[in-house]
Amino acid sequence: MEAAIWFFSGALAFRMLSKLLEHYQAVRHATESALYTLRLCAVIVHDVEFIRVLKYKHLLETGVKDDQIQLIKDIDQQTIDNWKRSIIAKFKQTLPPSVKNVFTFTDWTGAMKVLDIAFKKERGRR
């Protein structure tokens, strides 16, 4: 009888440990996926910034007045800032509950700091 108790205790412990490791791997996978999503957003913003520089250069070359270019720059910056706020809000809303506490930032700057830290750690492990 004592052997059966030890057997079932071992089976129960194995099952609990297995579930715990599955949960850990799922959280780790969700966290990595979220980081790569943020990285994609950062690349998009970088590309948009590059396109904006080309746009302003082209506007200057075609003779558009400086005050008009400044107005366009201001509108573009406001649009990008709104997009960044929207992305962060949607990102936070779509995180699974088990991962929400990993991402404590509330704005784009905070998100980029988290992203930098995460990928510096990753590079350090290689």
Quote the mean pLDDT of the chain: 91
Q: Is the pLDDT of residue 6 over 90?
A: no
Exposed, middle or buried: residue 34 (CB in 10 Å: 0-12, 13-18, 19+)?
buried
Q: Where are the domains of the chain?
A: 34-125
Looking at per-residue pLDDT, the higher value among 80 and 121 belongs to: 80
Instruction: Give the pLDDT band (50/70/90) at residue 126.
Output: low
Task: Determine the Cα–Cα distance for residues 48 and 42; give it in Å rounded to an integer.
Answer: 10
Task: Determine the Cα–Cα distance for residues 17 and 7; give it in Å rounded to an integer.
Answer: 15
Q: What is the pLDDT of residues 29-80, one digit of tens each?
A: 888 999 999 999 999 999 999 999 999 999 999 999 999 999 999 999 999 9
Verdict on whether the full-model pTM lies above 0.85: no
